[in-house]
């Protein structure tokens, strides 16, 4: 995003000079491990959706959003290697940035949807069995996408994405901060981070308490649920908390001081690194939600075994058919030979 003047303050000449290796490494690892994991999750979720699994609708949408973002990671790697100098068109910058920030909050909201759905199943298993519908989950997912996209559109276009009077080679970075972005950062911190964190904490706490008091589960199973709940909160905090704290601090400094370039220069490196670490969540989501639960692993084994059995039955059918054909040919050949 191009830098521009706001409030009469001159443009902040801020550059990232701390080396591109850490950022490129993180982006590359997210792409290498996250892309196949999300692709596998996408395929498995699609199969389970056909089996009327409601939770898989959220997992499918989450993986789809993560894969869409991962398609833009090469653009970010090139950008970082060029010391945060955008060498492509403004349209490419707009699209890449728009996908990134949409995925960030789509992921956060979908993680909340997944936790709420799991909580309902655990607390009200009988009612959830009858009231949970795939169509409802699909409508919720579409609503999340539309909400995030519509919310980002005005800030994206009005915060200096393209500004002919103040043109430079950066992408999706505005220094000093526009007033609209400052107000939006307060909303992102409260609604986009604190509220989802509260929802995740409450739902996982309720799940753990219900599982803990259940006499049907072993101590080992209860421990798995406990550590899964802790892991969800811990990973959410590690991936999203530092960056949103930076957003909040920038907004507060903007509200208190007329000139903020001095603060932007101090936190720019940390902000760039923490924004990069937000993407780690896209690679962890499939592992956390699809492969950490024993039931999911058992279903995965059953699906793989069913595929193997289907292939084996097809092979045996083809072998039997060919064998019958060969036997009939031999029988007919013997008839012809005897007749001659």
Count of structural domains within the chain: 1
Residue 337 lies in a domain: no
Q: Is residue 296 part of a domain?
A: yes
**For the purposes of burial, counting CB atoms within 10 Å of the CB of 200, is it exposed (0-12), middle (13-18) or buried (19 or more)?**
buried
Look at residue 201 and tell me if it is in a domain: yes
148: its two tokens: 């995030």
Q: Confirm whether 6 is domain-assigned.
A: no
pLDDT digits (tens, 9 = 90+) for 138-167: 999 999 999 999 988 876 665 444 443 444
What are 77-107's pLDDT values in tens digits? 988 888 777 888 877 888 888 898 899 999 9
Q: Which of 2-6, 88-92, 274-278, 289-293 has the highest mean pLDDT?
A: 274-278
For the segment 168-187, the average pLDDT, to the nearest whole number, is: 76
Q: What is the mean pLDDT of residues 331-338?
A: 34
Q: Give a yes or no: residue 5 inside a domain.
A: no
195: CATH: 1.20.1070.10
CA separation, residue 175 to residues 98, 207, 260, 275 (Å): 18, 44, 9, 16
What is the value of pTM for the model shown?
0.79
Whole-number pLDDT of residue 65: 94
Domain range holding 91? 21-313
**pLDDT surpassing 80 at residue 169:** no
State the Cα–Cα distance between residues 298 and 112, nearest whole angstrom: 25
Q: Is residue 46 part of a domain?
A: yes
Q: Does residue 30 have a pLDDT over 90?
A: yes
Instruction: Please tell me which residue, 166 or 250, carries the higher pLDDT value.
Output: 250
Q: No. of H helices and E strands in the chain? A: 12, 0
What is residue 298's predicted lDDT score, i.e. its pLDDT? 61
- Would you place residue 310 in the very low, low, confident or very high pLDDT band (cuts 50, 70, 90)? low
- Is the torsion defined by CA of 78, 81, 82, 84 positive or negative? positive
CA 258 remoteness from chain centre: 37
Q: Is residue 161 part of a domain?
A: yes
Distance CA 28, CA 172 (A): 21
The helix/strand/coil state of 167 is coil
Is residue 214 a part of any domain in this protein?
yes
């Amino acid at each position: 995003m191009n830098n521009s003047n706001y409030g009469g303050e001159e443009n902040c000449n801020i550059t990232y000079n701390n080396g591109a290796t850490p950022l490129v490494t993180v982006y590359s690892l997210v792409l290498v491990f996250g892309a196949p994991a999300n692709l596998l999750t996408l395929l498995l979720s699609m199969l389970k959706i056909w089996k009327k699994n409601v939770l898989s609708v959220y997992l499918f949408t989450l993986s789809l959003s993560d894969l869409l973002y991962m398609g833009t990671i090469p653009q970010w790697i090139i950008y970082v290697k060029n010391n945060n100098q955008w060498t492509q068109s403004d349209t490419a910058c707009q699209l890449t940035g728009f996908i990134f920030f949409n995925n960030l909050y789509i992921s956060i909201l979908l993680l909340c949807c997944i936790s709420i759905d799991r909580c309902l199943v655990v607390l009200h298993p009988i009612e959830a069995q009858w009231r949970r519908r795939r169509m409802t989950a699909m409508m919720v997912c579409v609503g999340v996408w539309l909400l995030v996209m519509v919310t980002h559109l005005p800030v994206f276009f009005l915060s200096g994405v393209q500004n002919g009077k103040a043109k430079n080679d950066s992408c999706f970075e505005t220094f000093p901060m526009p007033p609209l972005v400052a107000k939006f950062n307060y909303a992102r911190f409260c609604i986009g981070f604190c509220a989802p964190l509260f929802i995740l904490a409450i739902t996982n706490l309720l799940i753990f308490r219900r599982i803990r008091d259940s006499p049907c589960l072993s101590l080992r199973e209860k421990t798995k649920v406990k550590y899964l709940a802790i892991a969800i909160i811990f990973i959410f905090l590690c991936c999203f908390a530092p960056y949103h704290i930076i957003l909040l601090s920038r907004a507060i400094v903007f509200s208190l001081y007329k000139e903020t370039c001095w603060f932007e220069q101090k936190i720019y490196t940390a902000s760039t690194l923490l924004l990069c670490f937000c993407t780690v969540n896209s690679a962890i989501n499939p592992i956390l939600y699809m492969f950490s639960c024993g039931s999911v692993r058992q279903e995965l084994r059953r699906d793989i075994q069913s595929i193997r059995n289907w292939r084996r039955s097809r092979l045996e059918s083809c072998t039997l058919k060919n064998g019958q054909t060969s036997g009939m040919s031999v029988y007919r050949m013997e008839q012809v030979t005897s007749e001659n």
